[in-house]
């Protein structure tokens, strides 16, 4: 099994983070659960995000919402949700990411042209995930996570220790560091204040020498700062992603693709006008 090719370095010429569009083929995701469960709607939404400026598409078939209430599903059910949509979405021609913590699901997707595994447990939940990624040559997004938030801990120290464990697993499996992206996991296993801190100190994670992905789109910390339901958190999402871009994020993961792409392009133009080369 060989994954489709993906070269993150190619996006560096953009001068801004690449936009990863979110597609949840689930009934219970926190923001858009049920909207794209039907295969035809999911495929249409993927094409729409591509037209709106997404450079990467991220497909998830199991809700991993961190606030409780999501129903865990077996790998077979996850694959059944993906099977009708993945082949057609791959045909769009953008790099495709599979949002899963299960090795069999990752293997299924990689065999069908997916290039990236986005693991919300950073190779630490399924003991076979590192092997699947290594053997396929796929890119892996290692996301920080915790079973539950703990306001008493030093969240940046926890992120550092988590990434160190994940990177050790990756090295042992033979995953080259050029194929690893780190994600601080905004909203996952964190209080809203800890999510804000992780964004504020995103630059600290550059010490790992790896590309950073930030997924702050519609997250709960926005509601704690400026109360709004998920579908009305666009302003907060854009603010967080612009801050992440300034801190050096290589990818931002967003539900609102057109608005995010526009914001990043405008910010880039302003930055270049301020400091012309």
Question: Which residue of the set 219, 233, 265, 274 is catalytic?
Answer: 219
Inter-CA distances, 6 with 3, 33, 117, 130, 212, Å: 9, 28, 11, 18, 16
Cβ-contact 100, 117 below 8 angstroms: yes
| CB-based contact 215:241 (threshold 8 Å) | no
Q: Catalytic residue at 233?
A: no
- What count of other Cβ atoms lies within 10 Å of the Cβ of residue 15? 13
Of 81, 179, 220, 253, which one is the catalytic site residue? Answer: 253
DSSP 212: B
Under 8 Å CB-to-CB from 273, ≥6 apart: which residues? Answer: none
Q: Is 148 a catalytic residue?
A: no
Q: Are 212 and 249 in contact (CB under 8 A)?
A: yes
CA 61, distance to chain mean position in Å, is 14
The span from the CA of 251 to the CA of 230, in Å, is 21
Q: Using DSSP bridges, classify how beta strands 18-24 and 251-254 pair: parallel, antiparallel or unpaired.
A: parallel
Q: Which residues are catalytic?
A: 219, 253
């Amino acid at each position: 099994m060989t994954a489709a090719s993906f070269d993150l370095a190619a996006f560096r010429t953009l001068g801004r983070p690449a936009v990863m569009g979110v597609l949840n083929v689930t009934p219970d995701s926190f923001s858009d659960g049920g909207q794209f469960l039907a295969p035809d709607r999911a495929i249409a939404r993927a094409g729409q995000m591509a037209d709106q400026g997404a450079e990467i598409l991220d497909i998830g078939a199991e809700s991993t919402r961190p606030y409780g209430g999501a129903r865990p599903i077996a790998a077979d059910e996850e694959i059944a949700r993906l099977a009708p949509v993945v082949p057609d979405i791959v045909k769009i021609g953008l790099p495709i990411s599979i949002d899963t913590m299960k090795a069999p699901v990752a293997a299924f997707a990689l065999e069908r042209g997916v290039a990236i595994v986005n693991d919300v447990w950073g190779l630490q939940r399924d003991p076979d995930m590192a092997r699947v990624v290594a053997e396929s040559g796929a890119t892996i997004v290692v996301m920080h996570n915790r079973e539950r938030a703990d306001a008493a801990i030093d969240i940046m120290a926890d992120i550092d220790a988590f990434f160190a464990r994940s990177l050790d697993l990756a090295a042992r499996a033979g995953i080259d560091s050029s194929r690893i992206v780190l994600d601080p996991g905004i909203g996952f296993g964190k209080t809203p204040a800890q999510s804000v801190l992780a964004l504020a100190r995103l630059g600290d994670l550059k010490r790992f020498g790896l590309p950073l992905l930030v997924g702050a789109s519609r997250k709960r910390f926005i509601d704690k700062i400026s109360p709004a339901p998920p579908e009305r958190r666009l302003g907060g999402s854009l603010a967080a992603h612009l801050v992440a871009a300034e801190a050096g994020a290589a990818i931002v993961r967003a539900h609102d693709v057109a608005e995010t792409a526009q914001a990043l392009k405008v910010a880039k133009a302003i930055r270049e006008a301020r400091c012309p080369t």
